[in-house]
A and B are shown apart, each in its own frame.
Chain A
Amino acid sequence: MNNILKAITKDSFVLPIVAIIMGLILGAIVMLIGGYNPIDAYSALLTRVYGDPYDFGEAIREMTPLIMTGMAFAFAARAGLFNIGGEGQFLIGMTAATVVAVQLHGLPAYIHAPLAIIAGAIFGGLWAAIAGFLKAVRGVNEVISCIMLNWIGLYLANFVINHFMLLQGQNRSEDIQPSASIAIMWLSEMMGNARVHWGTAIALAAAVFFYVFMWKTKQGYELRAVGFNQDASKYAGMNVNRNIVKAMFISGMFAGLAGSFEVLGVFQYQSVMASSPGTGFDGIAVALIGLNNPFGIILGSILFGTLTYGSAGMSFSADVPPEIVRIVIGAIIFFIAAQGIVRWVLKPFYAKRKKEKVL
């Protein structure tokens, strides 16, 4: 009992919770200024997400790619790299999965679907590895190369769809082969045709992989060491350059998987996009809320997905502009990042706790 109490009063647990509460309060204040009722709005948001099975399933669909792109950012961040290129890796992974899923015929489902998923992961990883390679070999700042790769990835994805798989007269690819689909049909039927898919299970498994790899293996230890101090790692005999490329590759795999889930599990085709979908950037927010920890990221994506999916219900039944949730999310990240402010708010409680210890 005492241990549980200690665990939930730890700073790393208390500070994000308080930051989330402060973010929600700030959102409520903004709603009050705009003349809306925040209690109606928040309850409309929650009923939308958790009110009926269809919306619940769709909310899970919304959360799944965020878990993956969040882990993509966090994995690189643990190795001291700023992977802002989740967006491009997402799209390249998606495109690779679409190519495999549309172009290969006659494979049994237990080969075709995994093949498409693996293609998405590998190409997402390779796309990120370009940035890692350029940093390792030529010292090119990964932020700028990732920004460039995001744009290149967007146009490359459109190029592939437009020139090889375009559905006549439509702005999207042909449908994928049914054998490549990872939708869970029976569950989907139970949930009013919500687009639930196996990607969610893979995402949860990937979180476990992230944890085990990063904290329980030698390779993970090396990545974290490089993240802490490149010079010291080099002195200790680690190959810094190889670790940078490796970290980016695995990071990109996560983002690429997110992209392949969207095609194989949700849409069953890929659209020609005028601009990036934003899933990669949202993943950064999720990773920040989850403090770059895989299980934190799962919780972060539940929060993020609940807010974004629920915002539609909020504007429908309480007439509040859905953009308010972006403000709430921004505020939450702000308070998590600027922990000094949260500590300052919590000061009276901290003083109390110390007194108890003295007694």
Chain B
Amino acid sequence: MDVLTIIGQLINTTLVFATALIFTSLGGIFSEKSGVTNLGLEGLMIFGAFAAGVAGFYAQDAGLSGFGAACVGVLAAMVFGILVSLIHAVASITFKADQVISGIVINFLAAGSTLYMVKLLFDGAGETGLISGFDKVNIPYLSTIPLIGDVFFHAYPTTYLAVVAVIVTYFVLYKTPFGLRLRSVGEHPSAADTVGIKVNRLRYIGVMLSGALAGIGGATITLTTTGTFSHNTISGQGYIAIAAMIFGKWNPWGAFGAAVFFGLAQAVRNYVQLFAWTQSIPQEVIYMLPYVLTIIVLVAAVGRSSAPSALGQPYDPSKR
């Protein structure tokens, strides 16, 4: 294989791995911009991957085509993600629980309850039945461009959807009244309250959006990479998505860039063995490289905090 083809394939694989991280980190942005820390993204992804696997399986069983069943899977993941994120919302917004803790609760519940339900639904088996999921699609005309066509315009529909989601998130957050309000309750809730913005309602919406997006993020892994859901379908991607969000300074485009970077890090492992000069590098060094790089970049980028100011603080109107 010549170098250009390998680079092309590498980019293509990168996009596959990055898709889930893009969706999930966008979800994290919605929640944290509204002032609610969301450490439960890992759990929400697990629930999403689970819902997509189960709903996709039954939809396929009922006679839907692979694509139709996969779409049902995405919808189910979204709905399930929203429902589960409500646990986090009720605890941290209404009952003013520590947001970090209630996020961790989601992760604990996810690990246990999804496998429990899988065992109930599939007669004690540890994973859901195999589904075909999404196939890669060609974008008409564009995919025939030499090199670039194969790299960028022959991908899973979820990847395109992820890019669209970045644009929509950016537009919603920075160009609409809703986005302004959402950001304002994350920066200065009491000021927002005095001008008549419903702080807690907006925070609920922020958390629910994060549930929906993280659910979809988890679903993309089931529907494009694994085809089934089991205990290790999601292993740490939620935490990487949190890292991508912080790395991207809570900005949709920044998170997108960071997610692609981490996607590249995962993809590069598959190609390392192809070159003679890279074979001498120990495998583990290549595995840890992206994480080392992240730390170096964080250290180099002046540590100016760009987190929403009211992040992590429950809003209590009586303390205004």
Contact surface of A with B, Cβ cutoff 8 Å: 30, 34, 82, 134, 138-141, 143-145, 147-149, 151-152, 155-156, 158-159, 162-163, 275-276, 281, 284-285, 288, 321, 323-331, 333-334, 336-341
Contact = CB atoms under 8 A, between A and B. Distances in A.
Interface of B: 39, 87, 90-91, 94-98, 100-102, 104-109, 111-113, 115-116, 119-120, 124, 232, 235-236, 239-240, 242-243, 246-247, 282, 284-285, 287-288, 291-292, 294-295, 298-299, 302-305, 307
15 contacts: A30-B113, A141-B246, A141-B298, A147-B242, A147-B243, A151-B291, A155-B284, A155-B285, A284-B104, A323-B119, A328-B112, A337-B105, A340-B95, A340-B96, A341-B91
A326 B284 contact: no
B284 A162 contact: yes
**Secondary structure call for the A interface:** helix
Contacts of B95: 338-341
A159 B305 contact: no
Tell me which of A163, A326, A334 has the highest count of chain B C-beta atoms within 10 A of its own C-beta: A334
Given A148-B291, A324-B116, A338-B95, A333 B108 contact: yes
Given A155-B284, A163-B282, A339-B95, 9 more contacts: A138-B299, A140-B303, A141-B246, A141-B305, A151-B291, A159-B282, A288-B101, A330-B109, A330-B113
Nearest to B303: A139
A334 B111 contact: no
B288 to A, nearest CB: 4
Tell me which of A159, A333, A338 has the highest count of chain B C-beta atoms within 10 A of its own C-beta: A338
Contacts of B304: 139
B101 A148 contact: no
Contact of B97 (A34, A151, A330, A340): A340
Given A34-B116, A321-B119, A275 B299 contact: no
A284 B91 CA distance: 18
Given A151-B291, A275-B235, A340-B96, A334 B91 contact: yes
Contacts of B115: 321, 323
Contact of B288 (A156, A276, A284, A325): A156
Contacts of A143: 39, 242, 246
A340 B232 CA distance: 34
A323 B90 CA distance: 24
Contact of B291 (A141, A152, A162, A323): A152
Contacts of B111: 323, 326
A327 B113 contact: yes
A196 B24 CA distance: 43
Given A324-B116, A330-B105, A275 B303 contact: no
Contacts of A328: 112
Contacts of A159: 282, 284-285
A145 B90 CA distance: 29
A146 to B, nearest CB: 10
Contact of B298 (A145, A288, A337): A145
B294 A337 contact: no
A235 B308 CA distance: 25
Contact of A156 (B105, B236, B239, B284): B284
Contacts of B101: 288, 333, 336-337
A334 B87 contact: yes
B232 A275 contact: yes
Contacts of B91: 334, 337-338, 341
Contact of A333 (B39, B105, B240): B105
Contact of A34 (B100, B109, B120): B120
A67 B201 CA distance: 39
Nearest to A77: B100
Contacts of B294: 144, 148
Given A147-B242, A329-B108, A330-B105, A134 B285 contact: no
Contact of A327 (B112, B302, B303): B112
B284 A158 contact: yes
B312 to A, nearest CB: 10
A331 B243 contact: no
A326 B240 contact: no
Contacts of A276: 236
Nearest to A36: B120
B131 to A, nearest CB: 22
A104 B166 CA distance: 55
B112 A330 contact: yes
A300 B109 CA distance: 18
Contacts of A333: 101, 104-105, 108
Contacts of B303: 138-140
Given A139-B305, A159-B284, A341-B95, A144 B298 contact: yes
A327 B295 contact: no
Contact of A337 (B98, B112, B242, B299): B98
Nearest to B293: A148
A137 to B, nearest CB: 8
B299 A285 contact: no
Contact of A331 (B109, B116, B120, B246): B109
A302 to B, nearest CB: 18
Nearest to B111: A326
B97 A138 contact: no
A155 B288 contact: yes
A336 B102 CA distance: 10
B298 A152 contact: no
A50 to B, nearest CB: 23
Contacts of B291: 148-149, 151-152
A151 B109 contact: no
A285 B102 CA distance: 11
Contacts of B104: 284-285, 288, 333
A324 B118 CA distance: 12
Contacts of B112: 323-330
A138 B298 contact: yes
Given A156-B288, A341-B95, A144 B247 contact: yes
Contact of A147 (B97, B240, B282, B305): B240
